[in-house]
Every structure is written in C-alpha cells, then in structure tokens.
C-alpha cells in the first residue's frame, strides 16, 4: 500500500480528515521542539490522519534542527501516523533528485510538498518514489498568492492531473477550489490555512470529493498553541465531519 | 557595504563575473563534501566572485550535511569570497521569516535564492535583511522552465524590479534575457546553466548591463568535476571577460 492509499484508508478508519501542522514557532531550541511535538502528537494522534512539520521552523536551529525534524518524523511513525514533510522543495531535475533522496530516504517522510515553478522535470524525481506521495503547490493560502498564481493555477492543476500527484489548495479560496476540483477530480488535496489563516469548514467544502474524502485539512497554530490541543483537534475533526458528510 | 555592493566591487577588483557552483554530486559522505569543497575553493578563490553551494546535495546527508554546508560557507568567507546559498526557499510570510533566519543568521549566507510562486509576502521576509542579498527565480535554465514560466516571467521581472532584489535568469535563453534586462535594468543577475547545461559566453551576453557588469555567471559540474578546476575557472573567466568587454 503506498502513502496515498494508506492515507485514504486512515481517513475511513479514523473518520477524520484532520492534519496537524507542527510549526513550533515559539520554540527556542531544537530540544524544545522535540519535547513540544511529542506532547502534541501524544495528545492528538488518534484524532488525525497526518502530522505536517514545517521545515523552516526546524532549519532555524541548523543541524540540530534537522535532527529534531527527523526525530519528529520517527515519533509520528511510532504512533502509526503518516508524516508530511512541508518543505516546498523544487529545483532542476538533478537537484530535485537529491532533494527527493534527502527527504524521502534520509528523513523518511511519507509525503513532501513541492513547488512547481520549474515545471515537470523539477517535479519528476519526487514522483519516481512510488511508495511515497507528493503534494504540489497549486493555490496557496497566503494573501499574495494571487499575484502570480492567478495566471497559472489552472495550468498547474492540469499538470498535477497528468502527474497523478496530490495538490496543495488553500482553505481560503472556496470559488477557486470548485474550479480546481473539476480540473483535478481524483487528486488528494492537502488544504492548509484552516483556523488562524481564516479557513473554515464551510470554506473547504468544495475541496472534498463525493463521499467527503479526497482532501485533508491542516491547521497549525489553531491546534498546537491552543490551551487544549486535543479538544481543539476534536472540535476541528467534528466540524469538518459535519460538512463532509453532506458532500 | 551590503552584499550586492560588495559583489559589484569584487567584480571590478577581481575582473571576473565567475561564480562556481559547489554541487558535490559525487560525494558519498558529508566529510567528503567538505574536503572536496576546500580543494575547489583553494584552487579557484582568486578567480571567482562567489561560490554557490546547492543545498540539495548537502541535505542528502541530513544533519551532517547541514553542518557540511555551514563549514563550506565559513571556508568561503575565510578566503574573502561571497557565499550564495542556493536553496530556492519560499513559503507564506511567517514561514519565509523562519527560513530567512535559518539561512542568513544560522548559516551566515550572504545571498539566498528564493522561489517567487507565493508572491510578495513570501519574499518580503528575506528582503528585510538589508545587508544580505536575494536572488529571486525568474527564468530558470532547465528544459521544463517554459511550462509555467512562459506565462509569468515578465510579471515576475516586474515584481523583482519593485522589490529591488536580484534575479535568477538561466544562461540558456538569450532572447528572453534581452526582454528581461529591459524589464529589470538595474538588478543584479545570477545566471546558472553555463557549461554542462548548455549556456555559453555568447548566450549570456544580453544578461550584462552597460560596461559588462550586472550579472554573475555560474557553472558547477563544468568546473568542479573538470580534471583541472583552476584552469577551467580561468578559461571561463577569460571567455566571459572577452564578451562583456564589448557590452
């Protein structure tokens, strides 16, 4: 079973589409990152289908941060949960090949996020790992996303459909999500921007496929810096389940 | 003096626009990377204005690779040369801020390459480091570059002009380079793709500004895996100087 098949199965088994973003913004050391993440993973692992550590917050601490990232992935796996390496890599072919080796083999991630700006030959090396999964940035959740993406996100969607990869579609653009779902009817989506960035259960409704699957929704700050991360994750799970049961 | 001013001065002082890409593709350990790079830096530092380690080839070795990257930057600086961290980062604002801290502060790079796909708010955190320099991907040198970039590279050029950043423009597109130079008359360019990827002194001619400055040209495999890296760097310097003396 490859990573996408495992994810689809976990969505059914756990009755959840929640992904928790491990963005330890407030940590001041790499050790602190690891203990903080373990606390969050312990509190929420049965409620979620994936954890998504954001590489930038680990790289701040250099080599020790890289170790903390790897320890985080190992700990996620020890709880039987899938790990999405949110590092948005992407370069010319020979370089992307080295990134794929780094993130899939050295770090052992199940999924990686990839930037499509360099086109097919920059994405292809990641796709050769058939047991792993790739989420290609299509429409991001940030305010400036429209500056360049408005001109090309439908073309990116067509490429993603050809590549058979997953897609990143922000939770903050319900209208675009409808058109994108039509262009990528079968792709698994990673939907960031829920909670702190403004996405709601209603705004992500168009992201789901029939039966309420086909997308996982990610929240970071809204869960990990809540005073009760477990309660926050449970609330998010239930709000999303209420919406997707009618898709 | 900020990084771009230092670079402009080094181009004059050293009479060179050569950047050597430190892409240790063939290394099998992180230690091997460091000794290999020192050998290349020792052999060529007086002929070049920058070294450009490509992060992917270091990340392959995890935390030890990250250390090797940092040691490489430190060694480049010990020879009085500028270091370009070619890691093509870019994310939403709060995440790009963490990347900027990682690469400018923790690693100590003078320049970083940044992917523009997320728009202004993903680039802005890098630009707040006034003593450092940012090269934003505009037109990359790989075969698939045209798939998405054909639709937006002129818009990216306009944004780069507004941001006042540097630009990455591949050595393999002389026609596009002419139009891009008109759109970004004052920006410093990092021009990869010379040598192994097909770029020549003639094909990069439109990249230079009046007087033959305004661009540095990068070669990786063509220098570092030549049997005589010093001779290869000298040949490249002289070929480029012959062309740019007539711009």
pLDDT tens-digit readout, A6-54: 999 999 999 999 999 999 999 999 999 999 999 999 999 999 999 999 9
Q: A91 vs chain B: nearest CA distance in angstroms?
A: 7
Give me the total of CB pairs closer than 8 Å, taking one residue from chain A and one from chain B: 170
- The arithmetic mean of pLDDT across residues B53-69, rounded, is 98
Chain A, nearest residue to B65 by Cα: A63
Residue with tokens 């990528």: A184
Tell me the nearest-neighbour CA distance from B153 into chain A, angstroms. 9
What is the structure's pLDDT at A195?
86
Q: In whole angstroms, how far apart are CA A89 and each of A78, B5, B159, B190? A: 26, 29, 22, 19
User: Which of A80-94, A130-144, A188-202 shows the lowest mean pLDDT across its residues?
Assistant: A188-202
Give pLDDT, residue A189: 98
- The residue in chain B having the minimum alpha-carbon distance to the alpha carbon of residue A101 is B60
Partners of B72 on chain A (C-beta within 8 Å) are none
Q: Report percent pLDDT > 90 for chain B.
A: 93
- The tens digit of pLDDT for each residue in A100-111 reads 999 999 999 999
Report the residue from A65, A88, A98 with minimal CB separation from B56.
A98
**What is chain A's mean pLDDT, rounded?**
96
Euclidean distance between CA atoms B218 and B129, whole angstroms: 24
Query: Among B80, B91, B90, B142, which residue's Cα sits nearest to residue B115?
Result: B90
Q: Do A25 and B94 touch (CB under 8 A)?
A: yes
B52, B58, B98, B121: which to substitute to probe chain A, counting the most A Cβ within 10 Å?
Answer: B98
Q: Is the pLDDT of residue A83 over 90?
A: yes
Count H helices and E strands in chain A, helices first: 10, 8
| Neighbour count for residue A36 (Cβ, 10 Å) | 17
pLDDT of residue A149: 97
- The pLDDT, as a whole number, for residue B225 is 97
The enclosing H or E element of A189 equals strand A189-191
Q: What is the mean pLDDT of chain B?
A: 96
pLDDT at B203: 93
Q: What residues of A are in contact with residue B92 (Cβ under 8 Å)?
A: 140-142, 197
Return the closest-CA partner of residue B166 out of B128, B212, B132. B132
* pLDDT, tens digit, 9 for 90 and up, residues B98-129: 999 999 999 999 999 999 999 999 999 999 99
Query: ipTM value of the model?
Result: 0.97
Cα–Cα distance, A196 to A201 (Å, whole number)? 13
Q: Are strands B189-191 and B166-169 parallel, antiparallel or unpaired?
A: parallel
**Per-residue pLDDT at A19:** 98
Active site amino acids of B: 88
pLDDT range class, residue A172, cuts 50, 70, 90: confident
Return the minimum-mean-pLDDT range out of A72-76, B64-68, B138-142.
Answer: B138-142
- Which of the four pLDDT bands, split at 50, 70 and 90, describes residue A198? confident
**DSSP secondary-structure letter at B19?**
E
**CA dist A105 → A98, A126, A134, B171 (Å):** 10, 11, 14, 32
Q: Taking the domains of chain B in order of start, what are their residue ranges?
A: 3-244
From A92, which residue of chain B is nearest by alpha-carbon distance? B142
Q: Which residues contact A175 (CB under 8 A, 6 or more apart)?
A: none
CA distance A130 to chain B (A): 19
Residue B87: phi and psi, rounded to 5, are -125, -5
Mean of the pLDDT values across residues B123-148?
97
- How many CB atoms lie under 10 A from the CB of residue B37? 25
Q: Is the predicted pLDDT of residue B68 greater than 90, yes or no?
A: yes
What pLDDT is attached to residue B105? 98
* Residue B195: pLDDT over 90: no
What distance in Å separates residue B14's CA from the closest CA in chain A? 30
Which residues does residue B54 pair with via DSSP β-bridges, in sequence order?
B86
What pLDDT is attached to residue B153?
97
Q: Which residues of A are catalytic?
A: 88
Q: Does domain A3-244 have CATH number 3.20.20.70?
A: yes
pLDDT band at B174 (very low <50, low <70, confident <90, very high): confident
Comparing CB atoms, the residue among B59, B117, B197 nearest residue A148 is: B117
Task: Report the pLDDT averaged over residues A97-126.
Answer: 98
Length of chain A (residues): 247
Say what the pLDDT of residue B197 is: 80
Residue among A93, A115, A197 whose CB faces B117 most closely: A115
**Local structure of A58: helix, strand or coil:** helix
Q: Are A245 and A211 in contact (CB under 8 A)?
A: no
Q: Nearest-CA residue of chain B relative to A193?
A: B92
d(CA B61, CA B79): 25
Q: Cα(B156)–Cα(B183) distance, rounded to whole angstroms?
A: 10
Encoding tokens for residue A175?
């209208």
- For B37, phi and psi rounded to 5 degrees? -60, -40
């Amino acid at each position: 079973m490859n990573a996408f098949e495992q994810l689809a199965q976990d969505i059914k088994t756990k009755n959840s589409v929640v992904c928790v973003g491990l963005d330890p913004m407030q940590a001041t050391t790499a050790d602190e990152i690891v203990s903080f993440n373990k606390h969050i993973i312990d509190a929420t692992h049965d409620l979620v289908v994936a954890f998504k550590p954001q590489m930038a917050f680990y790289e701040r601490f250099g080599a020790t941060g890289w170790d903390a990232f790897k320890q985080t992935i190992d700990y996620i796996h020890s709880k039987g949960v899938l790990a999405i390496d949110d590092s948005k890599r992407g370069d010319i072919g020979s370089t992307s090949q080295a990134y794929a080796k780094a993130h899939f083999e050295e770090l052992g991630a199940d999924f990686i996020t990839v930037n499509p700006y360099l086109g097919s030959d920059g994405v292809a090396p990641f796709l050769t790992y058939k047991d792993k999964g790739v989420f290609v940035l299509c429409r991001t959740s940030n305010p400036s996303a429209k500056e360049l993406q408005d001109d090309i996100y439908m073309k990116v969607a067509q490429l993603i459909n050809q590549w058979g990869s997953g897609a990143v579609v922000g939770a903050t653009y319900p209208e675009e999500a409808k058109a994108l779902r039509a262009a990528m009817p079968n792709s698994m989506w990673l939907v960031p921007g829920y909670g702190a960035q403004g996405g709601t259960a209603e705004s992500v409704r168009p992201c789901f496929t029939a039966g309420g699957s086909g997308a996982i929704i990610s929240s970071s700050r809204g869960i990990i810096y809540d005073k009760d991360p477990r309660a926050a994750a449970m609330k998010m799970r239930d709000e999303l389940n209420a919406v997707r049961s009618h898709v």
